[in-house]
Amino acid sequence: MPDHRRFPNRTEAGVLLGQELARRINPDDHPIVLALARGGVPVGYEIARALDAPLDVFIVRKLGVPGHEELAMGAIASGGVRVMNDEVLGYLSGLSQNHIDAVAAREQIELERREKAYRGDRPPLQVAGRTVIIVDDGLATGSTMRAAVRAVRRMNPRAIIVAVPVAAPSTCDEFRAEVDDIVCMLTPEPFTAVGLWYEDFTQTTDEEVHALLAAANRGETTAAAARKAW
Selection from 82-86, 97-101, 165-169 with the highest mean pLDDT? 165-169
* CA-CA-CA-CA dihedral for 99, 110, 146, 5, to nearest 10: -140
Residue 23 pLDDT: 95
The rounded distance, in Å, linking the Cα atoms of 150 and 147 is 5
In this structure, the answer to whether residues 92 and 193 fall within a common structural domain is no
Confidence of residue 220 (pLDDT cuts 50, 70, 90): low
User: Domain range for residue 74?
Assistant: 61-119
Quick one: pLDDT band at residue 219, thresholds 50, 70, 90? confident
| pLDDT for 225 beyond 50 | no
pLDDT tens per residue, range 190-210: 999 999 999 999 999 999 999
Evaluate the omega torsion of the peptide bond into residue 165 and state whether it is cis, within 30 degrees of 0.
no
Q: Which of 99, 119, 139 is the last residue of a domain?
A: 119
Strand, helix or coil at 151?
Answer: helix
Query: Using CB atoms within 10 A of its CB, is residue 78 exposed (0-12), middle (13-18) or buried (19+)?
Result: buried
Contact 81, 62 (CB under 8 A): no
pLDDT tens digit string along 109-130? 999 999 999 988 888 899 999 9
How many CB atoms neighbour CB 162 within 10 A? 27
Q: Which of 119, 144, 165 is the last residue of a domain?
A: 119
For residues 73 and 64, is the Cβ–Cβ distance under 8 A?
A: yes
Asked if residue 67 and residue 35 are part of one domain, the reply reads no
Among candidate residues 91, 119, 147, the one where a domain is terminated: 119
CA separation for the pair 109, 102 (Å, rounded): 11
Same domain for 191 and 142? yes
**Comparing 17-31, 131-145, 174-188, 210-224, which segment has the lowest mean pLDDT?**
210-224
Mean pLDDT value across residues 14-43: 95
Mean pLDDT of 129-148: 93
Answer yes or no: do 137 and 174 share one domain.
yes
What mean pLDDT comes out for the span 147-163? 94
Shared domain check, 48 and 154: yes
Number of domains in the chain: 2
Claim to verify: residue 147 and residue 114 sit in the same structural domain: no
Co-location of 66 and 101 in the same domain = yes
Do 133 and 214 reside in the same domain of the chain? yes
Q: Please check whether residues 69 and 36 belong to one and the same domain.
A: no
